[in-house]
Structure 1
C-alpha cells in the first residue's frame, strides 16, 4: 500500500471532505481524488462513501484503523531518530464527565512527553467504542468490559451519580406527598444521556407531555445549570460533593447510579501508548472508587 494514499484516506475521513483533505495536505482536490481512486483500485473495493460529510465503508474503516496504527508507529520511529518535526498523535475518546474530573491528571503526564500531542474526542462512554472500532482513536474510556477485536482492556473504577438540586428547587416541588418528579424541571446532557433517561422511566410510568427539560451539552455548564436551579439531575460525586458540603446543592433521595469505566486501547507494541495507558490507569486509581 502506498503511504501517501493511506495518509490521504485519513485526511479525507478526518476533514470530512476531499476539499478539506486537500487543504490539510496542501495539494489539489483533484490530487486527493486521484489518490483515493488509486487506493480503491489497489484494494478492489470502495473505501469512501461520497456523502456530506464523507464516510468510510466497512472496508474503509478496516483500512483506516490499520493506517492509524502505522502512523503511530511511524511517528514514534521519527521521534526515536530525533526528527524534531515529528509529533506522536495520541487520540482518545472520552466521556465529558471523565474529562471534566479525573482524566485531567493525565494532562500533566503528557505535558512531560516531548513529542506527544493529545487529541480528545468527547463521546458518551457507551458510544466511544464506535470510534475505536472505526480506528478514529487509539484508546477509549468506555463502559464496555469486553474488548473490541484487536484491543486490550483495563478496569479503571466506578463513577457514582446521585440526584441533586438546589434547596430552593427541591422545596418548591415538594409537598406532603413527596417530590413532584413530573413537574420539577430536569436537566439532561444530550440525547444519549442514558442515566437521566433511565431514571425518568423508573420514576414516571408515562413521560409528561410538557415536562420542562433543559439540554446542556457541557459537563461544566451542566453542573453550573444545576447549581443555578435550572433543573435537577444526576451528577457525578466528583463534581457534586463540594457543592453538597457547602449546602449549595442537596440530595433528592438516596438513589444512586454506579457507572463502571474501562480503558480499551489498541493491542500495539508502542512505548507511547503504554505510557498513556499507565497514566490513565494511575489517574483513575487516584480519583475513582
Structure 2
C-alpha cells in the first residue's frame, strides 16, 4: 500500500489526543482536514480505523496502522537527530507500559539516568500489558507473556516474587486460629483492581478454587501498600516492598513457606531506535541485579 504520512499522523493524533478537534489543534489544521485524512485512510484499507466517541478509540485494523504510524514518527525523529537537525528532531519520547509493582520498585531507578529521554508511562497488569504492543499504544512493555507480539522481540527479565502479608492487628482480629480454609474465606483482602488476580491465585494455591472473601479495590501502588499496612485486608506484595515492613514488624507473613513467583519479560518493537535500545539495556541490566535472586529460597512457589 502507498500510505500517506499525513494520514498516519492524523490517526496517531486522534488516538493520542482522544478526538478530532484536539488532534487538529495539535497538528495545526482544521478538524475537517483530520476527518478527511482518516476517511481517506479508511477507504484505502477498507476498514473502520477509529471508533468515534469521547475519547476516540482505535479499532483492531486501526491498531495495525497506529503502530506503523508511531514507528514511522519515531524513525523520522531519529533520522533527523542523526542528521544533526536537532531543532526539528526534538527530544525522543518513549512510550512504555509497566506493571504497577515493577514501577513502584525497580523500574524508575533503572530509568532515572536517562535524562535526555521523555517517558510516557502507562500502568497495566503484567498479564495484559502485551496488549498495548498489539494495539500500537506502546513501544515497549514489561509483561508476563513469553510469546513475542508480532513485530516485537522478547527477553526474560527474571522473577517478581510475591508474599502474602497482613498487619499484626489484622491477623489478631481475622486470623486468630491461623491461616486456614475457614479464616481465609472470611478475612478481607486488598485487590489492586478488577484485573488483579494475584490474591485469588494465592488463595487457590493454598486451599483450592472456590473461596471468595470480601475485598477492597485500591488501584494505586503506594495506597495499596498502606491499606495492607493499616489492616484493611491481607494482600500479596512484592518481596521488594514487603521485606522492610516484615523486618520492622509492620507486616507479618501469612504462610512462611509459600510465595507466588511471576516471571517477567521485556517486549519491544523490533526497530532500530537508539533511545528504545537504551531503555531496554537499562531495564534488562537492572532486572538482572534486582530480580535475579527472587526465584530461589522458598518452597511451595508457583
TM-score past 0.5 threshold: yes
Q: Is residue 155–residue 267 contact of structure 2 (8 Å, CA) maintained in 1? A: yes
Matched, 1:189 2:202: no
Matched, 1:269 2:272: yes
Aligned length: 284
The match for 1:160 is 161
The match for 2:32 is 30
Structure 1 spans left out of the alignment, 5+ residues? none
Q: CA deviation at 1:205?
A: 5.3
The match for 1:221 is 223
Matches within 5 A, 1:71-86: 71-80=73-82, 81-84=84-87, 86=90
Q: Deviations over 1:264-286 (max 9, x none)?
A: 01111122221111011011112
Matched, 1:8 2:10: yes
The match for 1:132 is 133
What is the rounded CA distance, in whole Å, between the counterparts of 1:98 and 1:118 in structure 2? 16
What is the rounded CA distance, in whole Å, between the counterparts of 2:143 and 2:85 in structure 1? 34
Q: Is residue 110–residue 118 contact of structure 1 (8 Å, CA) maintained in 2? A: no
The match for 2:121 is 120
Matched, 1:281 2:267: no
Secondary structure at the aligned position of 2:163 is classed as strand
Name whichever of 263-272 and 166-175 sits farther off.
166-175
Structure 2 spans left out of the alignment, 5+ residues? 293-302
What is the rounded CA distance, in whole Å, between the counterparts of 1:177 and 1:166 in structure 2? 13
The match for 1:65 is 67
What is the rounded CA distance, in whole Å, between the counterparts of 2:143 and 2:67 in structure 1? 18
What is the rounded CA distance, in whole Å, between the counterparts of 1:66 and 1:262 in structure 2? 23
Q: CA deviation at 1:230?
A: 1.1
When normalised by structure 1's length, the TM-score is 0.92
Q: CA deviation at 1:20?
A: 2.6
Deviating above 6 A after TM superposition, structure 1's stretches of 4 or more consecutive aligned residues are none
Matched, 1:110 2:114: yes
- Aligned CA RMSD, in angstroms, stands at 1.8
Q: CA deviation at 1:176?
A: 4.0
When normalised by structure 2's length, the TM-score is 0.88
What is the rounded CA distance, in whole Å, between the counterparts of 1:121 and 1:271 in structure 2? 21
What is the rounded CA distance, in whole Å, between the counterparts of 1:131 and 1:61 in structure 2? 9
Q: Is residue 182–residue 204 contact of structure 1 (8 Å, CA) maintained in 2? A: no
User: Structure 1 pair 31/165, CA: closer, same or farther in 2 (3 Å)?
Assistant: same
Matched, 1:40 2:42: yes
Matched, 1:93 2:93: no
Q: Is residue 132–residue 140 contact of structure 1 (8 Å, CA) maintained in 2? A: yes
